[in-house]
Amino acid sequence: MFITAKLLVFVTHPLAWVAALMLWAWVLLGTNPANHYVVQRHRSGRHLLGLALALFLIQGWEPIPDALLRRLEDPYSRTPSAKELQDYRGIVVLGGALEPSYVWEGRSQIALSEAAERMVVPLTLLRQNPGLQILFTGGEGDLLNTGLSEAERARIFYQSMGVLPDKLLLEDRSRTTYENAVLSAQLPGVDPGQRWLLLTSAWHMRRAMATFQKAGWNVTPFAVDFATGSHTPWTAYSLLQGTRKWVLVLHECVGLLVYQATGRA
């Protein structure tokens, strides 16, 4: 399943589609136009190049992916109040907010990714209710990685923030959302039937909730790291941000379909 997930990351990347169209066009244009059939291939190749360019440029127009992302994020806008936190055993924090281990090597700085809210918000919740525990779940999502697991990097971060060892549980073998749910439930002293907050990025919450509930967890969503607001200006355009948002929405939608088809969500 882990290898399949990695393949999905590539297949659902819009730039991979652009590259495929350009490669197809290169094949069609690479023949000598000596007859009518080859001329037709050249014409098709030019059309494919135009399609690849259009697909590349439209990725930067952010209102389209934002509209799709809101459908994933909006149901999880509300979070439990500080008073309600007293009813929970702890916070399950999904990995994905720390830079890869090779970025940490040889540095004295903690390296958080653009999803840093996943790591920071639990500190605020812990201050509001010291009775909570943080259960961080994440092994290593990179192939052939031999460095520190994400859970070990999380330990370094939380200890630097003053979190006491008895307030921190770590699951360091999982590589997918499904493994997050299953392997975390196997930790000593963890009862998934108790009430837990499930903390992850808002766009990932639908699949995460379905997966954890399927695995027997009693979880309440606590969404962070929202990628969209209530609206997007029609003039918002960025190839970098637009492509990133397309990757998020396509990966999550396909991932949810795969999880549902395989009985994991």
What are the structural domains of the chain? 2-58 (no CATH), 79-226 (3.40.50.620)
DSSP assignment letter at 89: S
Mean pLDDT, residues 70-86 taken together: 92
H/E stretch holding 100: none
pLDDT of residue 146 exceeding 80: no
What are the start-end ranges of the H helices in the chain?
2-11, 14-29, 36-58, 63-73, 101-104, 117-128, 150-160, 177-184, 205-214, 239-261
The whole-number pLDDT of residue 62 equals 96
169 or 82, higher pLDDT? 169
pLDDT of residue 162 exceeding 60: yes
Lowest mean pLDDT among 47-51, 125-129, 184-188: 47-51
The 10 Å CB-count burial string (b at 16+, else e) for 95-116 is bbbbebbeebeeeeeeebeebe
Judged on CB neighbours under 10 Å (0-12, 13-18, 19+), 78 is exposed
Mean pLDDT, residues 159-180 taken together: 96
H/E stretch holding 113: none
The whole-number pLDDT of residue 74 equals 97
Could you give the CA distance from residue 63 to residue 99 in angstroms, rounded to a whole number?
28
